[in-house]
Amino acid sequence: QPHTAYPKDFKGRKLLITAGPTFEDLDPVRYLGNRSTGRMGIALAEAAAARGATVHLVLGPTSLTTDAAGVTVHNVRSAREMHAASVANWPKADAAILAAAVADYRPKKIAGQKIKKGEKPLKVELVRNPDIAAELGEDKKTNQRLVGFALETENGLENARRKLERKNLDFIVLNSPNDKGAAFGHTTNKIQLVDHNKVTPFELKPKAEVANDILDALVSIL
């Protein structure tokens, strides 16, 4: 039902949303990235703003963006930049939705010059990035709500529940790249919402409508 008008049920609410990939530089011209386009997170930001929220969207490098009224876009590149922008905007937020595909690792050193090829295999040492979700979860006040995403290729529910607990989330949006038309690179998504007591499955639908399903679940616990 694309023409359903939503009430301004997020009026007066401040939301932090992360979206898109992160790029972890290897040298001045190369990086490690991932296939996230940011489309789901941008859809969430636009839907929340349409429902009256003030949104801070921390957006990794992608060709997509938004100029929707009520959405302030913070463009970042690396996980550490996304971490800094997210931590800065968390204290005044009523809720955060972490839709970004954050790189778990980054190259230990960024080479100052373009790496030249040689005969030997190239070894790159990777170090852990900060876990933004886990940190926001640690600093979560009783009146704040935290929503994560999980993209799993196997043992989806079990992994999602583990992340829900470990990161102190209120619920987690599980999507599987195995489902046709879902997750990365698609305009549609098929999700399950997993909280501490139940699992709620949804049909495959456009990401704008998926966004409103997620926001319905969030507004009910704000």
Q: How far is the CB of 56 from ligand CTP (least distance, A)?
A: 15
What Å distances lie between residue 105 and 78, 122, 128, 149, 150, CA to CA? 10, 17, 4, 18, 17
Partner touching 163 among Ca ion, ligand CTP, none, CB below 5 to 8 Å by kind: ligand CTP
Q: Considering only CA atoms, give the Rg of the chain.
A: 18
Contacts of ligand CTP in 34-53 (CB under 6 A)? none
Q: Residue 76 or residue 98: which is nearer to ligand CTP going by CB?
A: 98
Q: How far is the CB of 22 from ligand CTP (least distance, A)?
A: 8
Q: How far is the CB of 104 from Ca ion (least distance, A)?
A: 4
150 binds ligand CTP (CB under 6 A): yes
98 binds ligand CTP (CB under 6 A): yes
Q: Which residues pair with 191 in a beta bridge?
A: 175
Site map 68..97 versus ligand CTP, x via CB under 6 A: -----------x------------------
What Å distances lie between residue 26 and 75, 118, 130, 141, 185, CA to CA? 20, 16, 18, 37, 25
Among positive and negative, which fits the CA dihedral 209, 92, 220, 99? positive
Partner touching 150 among Ca ion, ligand CTP, none, CB below 5 to 8 Å by kind: ligand CTP
129 assigned to active site: no
Residues 6+ apart with CB under 8 A from 81: 22
Q: How far is the CB of 94 from ligand CTP (least distance, A)?
A: 17
Cα dihedral 15→149→19→88 (10° resolution): 50
Cα end-to-end distance, the chain, whole Å: 25
Nearest to 144 by CA among 95, 99, 89, 217: 95
Partner touching 129 among Ca ion, ligand CTP, none, CB below 5 to 8 Å by kind: ligand CTP
Q: Which residues bind ligand CTP (CB under 6 A)?
A: 18, 79, 98, 100, 102, 104, 129-133, 148-151, 163
Q: Which residues are catalytic?
A: 34
* Annotated binding residues for CTP: 104, 114, 149, 163, 167
